[in-house]
Amino acid sequence: MTAPLQFGLDTFGDVTKDASGAMLPHAQVIRNVVEEAVLADELGLDFIGLGEHHRADFAISSPETVLAAIASRTGRIHLGSAVTVLSSDDPIRVFQRFATLDAVSNGRAEVILGRGSFTESFPLFGFDLRKYEELFEEKLDLFAALLSQQPVTWQGKLRPPLKDQLVYPPVENGRLKTWIGVGGSPQSVVRAAHYDLPLMLAIIGGDPARFAPYVDLYHRAFKEFGRPAQPIGVHSPGYVAETDAQAREELWPDYKAMRDRIGKERGWPPMGRDEFVSEAEHGSLYVGSPETVARKIAKTAKALGISRFQLKYSAGPLPHEKLMRSIELYGRKVMPMVREMTG
């Protein structure tokens, strides 16, 4: 008997509008995120993930601090990052912060490690972007060594070596649940299997089924390593309203604003309505009524054999009140529908 599909939410703390259309201050956005997580806990959702960014359009630069505040207001939901940009951080400090979060939350902390799709943290913290790959590989190797919670002897090229070094505080029970966030690199998939870590697929465009070869690769890698495969999750954007038409009309202007702002930085053309509709109908945008979103999640779950689905529920300046309503529908209607569809 397989475990039921887990349901999570992710947010980057997108800076949102108030009722008059004015942009909220970052501080209020952070307080709103705490309220959104409290609602998710009340609805019985399994996980809330906060992304790390260092730019004006996202309010959360220190996810663990916000997660600790959420821990004090919740009792069940697991708390993690989405993602922690390990390349521009210190693996020991990351472990310590999440071990501390695990303590204050009574064992509910998780960390999703990744390289991130934004690079602002590299110059901010004094890292050479030309070492993008090397930084992540070496820091992940050290982080993986910390998970055993035994004295660490380790040597790399980018920092001084460690000899029989213990790191505190230890995780109280078991080991810190650690995922690897992957956006579509075969090397990252094999790396996750090499370190015996669960895989979180960030699928933000196109048919989710196109990631099936990565799932196959992940399972083949575990077979070659002689170990049972770890869980696989999916992170994708979405929005739930009472009807398909309402969901699309409410999400479209704010989703486009976010997409075009980031696209301008990266050389993408402005998003047209046809592209938006195509992503909603055939791609990785889970927008619509509870029934529509549930069917789409169930289809992805069956196609990829995942054990968790995480909906990135915030989208540009889409107001807090609408996000709360979307979370409510996701928890009360979508979640039970998907579980019925997937058995």
pLDDT (tens digit per residue) in 70-110: 999 999 999 999 999 999 999 999 999 999 999 999 999 99
Whole-model pTM: value is 0.96
The arithmetic mean of pLDDT across residues 137-158, rounded, is: 97
Cα–Cα nearest to 296, from 209, 220, 218, 225: 209
Cα–Cα nearest to 37, from 5, 82, 4, 3: 82
pLDDT digits (tens, 9 = 90+) for 207-231: 999 999 999 999 999 999 999 999 9
Per cent of the chain over pLDDT 70 is: 99
CATH architecture for residues 6-342:
Alpha-Beta Barrel (3.20)
Alpha carbon distance 161, 177 (integer Å): 25
Mean residue pLDDT across the chain: 96
Residue extents of the structural domains in the chain: 6-342
Under the banding of pLDDT at 50, 70 and 90, the label for residue 3 is confident
The pLDDT, as a whole number, for residue 117 is 80
Distance between alpha carbon 139 and the CA centroid of its chain, in Å? 19
The pLDDT, as a whole number, for residue 2 is 67
Under the banding of pLDDT at 50, 70 and 90, the label for residue 184 is confident
pLDDT digits (tens, 9 = 90+) for 15-68: 999 989 999 999 999 999 999 999 999 999 999 999 999 999 999 999 999 999
- What residues contact 63, with CB distance under 8 A and at least 6 apart? 50, 51, 52, 81, 82, 84
Cα Rg, the chain, nearest whole Å: 19
